[in-house]
Chains A and B, each alone.
Chain A
Amino acid sequence: MPDKPTLAIYWAASCGGCEVALLNLHQNLLNLVARYNLVFCPCLLDVKTETIRALPDNAIDVTLFNGAIRNSENVEMAHLLRRVSRTLVAFGSCAHEGCVPGLSNLHSCSDHFRDNYLDPRFNDNPEGILPLETTPTQWSDLRLPEFHQRVTTLADHVPVDLVLPGCPPESRRILELLVLMQEQPLGVCTEKVVGGSSTVCVECPRTRDGRKVARLHRIHQLIPDEAHCLLEQGVICRGVATREGCGALCPQVNMPCSGCYGAAAGMVDQGAAMVGALAGAMALDPDAAADNGEFIMQMELLLDAVPDYAGQFYTYSLAASLLKGKK
Chain B
Amino acid sequence: MSRRITIDPVTRLEGHGRIEIFLDDDGNVAEAFFQVPELRGFESFCVGRQAEEMPVLTSRICGICPEAHHLASAKALDQLFGVVPPPAAVKIRELLYMAFFVADHSTHFYALGGADIIVGPDAPVEERSLFGVIRKLGADVGQKIIDCRKRNHQVIKILGGREIHPVAGLPGGWSKRVSRDEQLELAELARRNVEFARFTLKLFHSIVLNDAVWMEQFSSDLYLHRTYSMGTVDDSNHASFYDGMIRVVDPEGDELARYQPSAYAEHIIERVEPWTYLKFPYLKKVGWQGFADGIDSGVYVASPLSRLNAADGMGTPGAQEEYDKFFETLGSGRTVSGRWRPVHHRLATHWARLIELLAAAERMQELADDPEITSAHIRNLPEGPCRQVGIGSLEAPRGTLTHHYETDERGVLTRVNLLVGTTNNHAAMAMSIKRAAQGLIKGGEVSPELLNRVEMAYRLYDPCLSCATHVLGQKPQPRVIIRSCDGSLWQTLGEM
Q: What residues of chain A have their CB less than 8 Å away from a CB belonging to chain B?
A: 11, 13-21, 23-24, 26-27, 29-30, 33, 38, 42-50, 70-71, 73, 99-101, 103-104, 106-107, 109-113, 115-117, 119, 121-125, 129-140, 142, 144-147, 149, 167-168, 171, 218-223, 249-250, 252-255, 258, 260, 306-308, 311-312, 315
> Residue B153 at the A interface, CB < 8 A?
yes
CA A50 – CA B50 in complex, angstroms?
Answer: 43
Q: Mark B459-490, 1 if CB is under 8 A from A, else 0.
A: 00000101000011111111110100000000
Residue pair B48, A44 in contact (C-beta under 8 Å): no
Size of chain B's interface in residues, with CB distance under 8 A?
113
Residue pair A20, B272 in contact (C-beta under 8 Å): no
Residue pair A258, B64 in contact (C-beta under 8 Å): no
21 example contacts (A-B, Cβ-Cβ < 8 A) are as follows: A11-B16, A15-B62, A15-B466, A18-B63, A24-B149, A26-B149, A30-B142, A42-B9, A44-B129, A46-B12, A49-B9, A71-B38, A103-B57, A122-B417, A123-B270, A130-B274, A131-B478, A133-B475, A133-B477, A134-B478, A258-B53
A-binding segment of B164-172, B206-214, B248-256? B164-172
CA A49 – CA B18 in complex, angstroms?
Answer: 11
Known: A43-B12, A139-B4, A308-B49. 4 other contacts (CB 8 A): A15-B466, A47-B11, A103-B49, A315-B53
Q: Given A223-B379, A307-B410, is A48 in contact with B153 using a C-beta cutoff of 8 Å? A: no
Residue pair A109, B4 in contact (C-beta under 8 Å): no
Q: Mark B38-75, 1 if CB is under 8 A from A, else 0.
A: 11111111111110110011001111101000000000
Q: Mark B5-42, 1 if CB is under 8 A from A, else 0.
A: 00111111111100010100000001101010111111
Residue pair B44, A21 in contact (C-beta under 8 Å): no
Smallest CB–CB gap between B78 and chain A, Å?
A: 10
Smallest CB–CB gap between A132 and chain B, Å?
A: 4
Q: Given A137-B31, A142-B33, A311-B50, is A147 in contact with B39 using a C-beta cutoff of 8 Å? A: yes
Closest residue of chain B to A132 (Cβ to Cβ) is: B494
Q: Given A73-B37, A122-B417, A220-B77, is A16 in contact with B15 using a C-beta cutoff of 8 Å? A: yes
Q: Which residues of B contact A254 (CB under 8 A)?
A: 168, 175-176
Residue pair B41, A219 in contact (C-beta under 8 Å): no
Q: What residues of chain B have their CB less than 8 Å away from a CB belonging to chain A?
A: 2, 4, 7-16, 20, 22, 30-31, 33, 35, 37-50, 52-53, 56-57, 60-64, 66, 77, 81, 107, 111, 125-126, 128-131, 134, 142-143, 146-147, 149-150, 153, 157, 160-165, 167-168, 170-172, 175-176, 265, 269-277, 279, 282, 288, 379, 381-382, 410-412, 415, 417, 452, 464, 466, 471-480, 482, 492-494, 496
Closest residue of chain A to B173 (Cβ to Cβ) is: A223
Residue pair B272, A311 in contact (C-beta under 8 Å): no
Residue pair B162, A106 in contact (C-beta under 8 Å): no
Residue pair B478, A144 in contact (C-beta under 8 Å): yes
Neighbour of B129 across the interface among A46, A138, A139, A250, CB < 8 A: A46
Residue pair A307, B412 in contact (C-beta under 8 Å): yes
